[in-house]
Structure 1
Amino acid sequence: MNRALPLALGVSLGPALGVYALVSSVPAALGTAAVYVGAAYFYFAFDVSLLAAAPRFDDRSDRLGYGVGLFGLSVTPILFAQSAAGGDATTFGFVIAFFGAVAFLTLSEQARRRRGGGE
């Protein structure tokens, strides 16, 4: 029996309840739960990690572009939380959902590659 989906559902409860506590919005909490179910599913089903080796680029400008983009992706939610609405709880809910979206996209791409979808 594939246990990845039930485990993923369990993992998604924490972020969903956290967003609901911050935002008091059922749709926002359910959307966040869905994102985390997807990310956790790929983590459990394909044994991939967010800390896996990063893509390798041979060209210096490609490496620079990847580094700048990764830096922006890492700090944007935090900066958004500090500047938008003065640290309003809704903004922190957005940050939680945003991190889940990044995890989902990263893990699903690693799973696609592992399954044999190419690199």
Structure 2
Amino acid sequence: MKRALPLAVGVGLSVAFGVHQLAPVRPTTFGTAAVYAGAAYFYLGFDVSLLGEAPRFSDPVDRVGYGLGLFGLSVTPILFAHYAGGDDGAVLGFVIAFFGAVAFLTLSEQARRVSDGTE
């Protein structure tokens, strides 16, 4: 785990460099770097994966709620890009940051479960 943080910072800076080429606004660049550095830290520092096992729900209503949430997460960036005019580099930067946020939240929760021993 000692090497995970420097590697994660490198990942964050790499993504930030690309986003800065699309939308050269420093707060956006720094925010995106932080999100991806955090996601990369949990990915590299713990034995977790974005493609790992999804949560299982026994109640059909819970499964529908989870499916609705996943559908919303998957189409929202595309709809936002369409609404805002997909030709703008800032919209692509938003989509990149949005997916990074989802990755960070997913990986950090899986890492918490691993460190607690509940997974």
Q: TM range, normalised to the smaller chain?
A: over 0.9
Unpaired runs of 5+ residues, structure 2, are: none
Residue 21 of structure 2 is matched in structure 1 by 21
Unpaired runs of 5+ residues, structure 1, are: none
Q: Name the CA distance, whole Å, in 1 between partners of 2:86 and 2:45.
A: 39
Residue 83 of structure 1 is matched in structure 2 by 83
Task: Map residues 100-111 of structure 1 onto 2, 5 A cutoff.
Answer: 100-111=100-111
Task: Map residues 1-119 of structure 1 onto 2, 5 A cutoff.
Answer: 2-116=2-116, 118=118
Q: Name the CA distance, whole Å, in 1 between partners of 2:10 and 2:101.
A: 17
Percentage identity across paired residues of the two chains? 69
Size of the aligned set, in residue pairs, is 119
- Give TM-score scaled by structure 1 length: 0.93
Deviations 1:82-101 (A, max 9, x none): 22134311111111111110
- Give TM-score scaled by structure 2 length: 0.93
RMSD, aligned CA: 1.5
Deviation at 1:14, TM superposition (A): 2.5
Task: State the AA in 1 paired with 2:31.
Answer: G
User: 1:20–1:63: structure 2 CA closer, same or farther, 3 Å change rule?
Assistant: same
Task: State the AA in 2 paired with 1:20.
Answer: H
Q: Name the CA distance, whole Å, in 1 between partners of 2:94 and 2:82.
A: 12
**Runs of 4+ with >2 A deviation:** none
Q: Name the CA distance, whole Å, in 2 between partners of 1:13 and 1:78.
A: 25
